[in-house]
Amino acid sequence: MKIKIVTNLDKYQTNCFPDNLQYVPRVGEYIMIDDVFNEYYHKQCLPTTLKVVSVTHSNKLVLVEVNYSDIQIKSAKLNNINLY
């Protein structure tokens, strides 16, 4: 079964997430972006881990939606960082 990670955040590319997860993440867990993109997002002061907010199962695919956590949003506001 293929696990696909998606987000509606414009600042994150669709290919920056791991494509070879061996287990299905659960809601509330965090997904780290691939190491190749880690430095790029870190320099832009964007989180390198995103929270799993939804998991949808089908016969051939598991769709995992990720977004910022509440603490990441609050921290960004305090530091005047535009996450969106």
> What is the reported pLDDT for 31?
95
Tokens representing residue 64 in the block: 């995992």
Task: Please determine, for residue 58, whether its predicted confidence score (pLDDT) is greater than 90.
Answer: yes
**19-39 tens-digit pLDDT:** 888 899 999 999 999 999 999
Burial class of residue 17, CB neighbours in 10 A (0-12, 13-18, 19+): buried
As given in the structure block, the two tokens for residue 52 are 């799993």
Domain residues of the chain, as ranges? 2-78
Distance CA 81, CA 84 (A): 9
pLDDT at position 46, please?
A: 93
The pTM assigned to this predicted structure is: 0.89
